[in-house]
């Protein structure tokens, strides 16, 4: 076995495996920039609100069909059901 063949086996193969793993992990972000907010950059996206139960949201400005004030069963708390 020559020195070139030895280097290819003991250096080339591990370097190739490391390169394949690196491209598999970081390849997508190297091709394009992710669409996410970075601190210090202006916010360029539409505002969105997280509502776990959209049917529980009541428009306080509109009266209910019966003419009474609408009521909710929202209890709040750490479970996010408010």
Per DSSP, 56 falls in state G
pLDDT tens per residue, range 26-48: 888 777 766 777 788 887 777 77
Whole-model pTM: value is 0.41
pLDDT band at 14 (very low <50, low <70, confident <90, very high): very high
35 in any annotated domain: yes
pLDDT band at 9 (very low <50, low <70, confident <90, very high): very high
Block residue for tokens 């390849």 = 27
- Write down how long the chain is: 82
65 in any annotated domain: no
| Alpha-carbon distance values, 2 to 6, 7, 12, 14, 81 (Å) | 6, 9, 14, 18, 71
Mention every residue, 6+ apart, whose C-beta is less than 8 A from residue 74. Answer: 56, 81, 82
56 in any annotated domain: no
pLDDT band at 69 (very low <50, low <70, confident <90, very high): low
Q: Which domain holds residue 19?
A: 3-44
11 in any annotated domain: yes
Domain count for the chain, please give it.
Answer: 1
62 in any annotated domain: no
Cβ-in-10-Å burial (0-12, 13-18, 19+) of 8 comes to middle
37 in any annotated domain: yes
């Amino acid at each position: 076995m020559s020195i070139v063949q030895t280097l290819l086996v003991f250096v080339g193969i591990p370097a190739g495996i490391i390169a394949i793993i690196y491209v598999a992990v970081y390849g997508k972000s190297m091709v394009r920039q992710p669409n996410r907010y970075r601190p210090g950059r202006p916010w360029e996206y539409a505002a969105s609100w997280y509502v776990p139960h959209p049917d529980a949201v009541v428009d306080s400005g509109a009266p209910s069909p019966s003419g009474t004030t609408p009521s909710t069963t929202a209890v709040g708390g750490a479970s996010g059901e408010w």
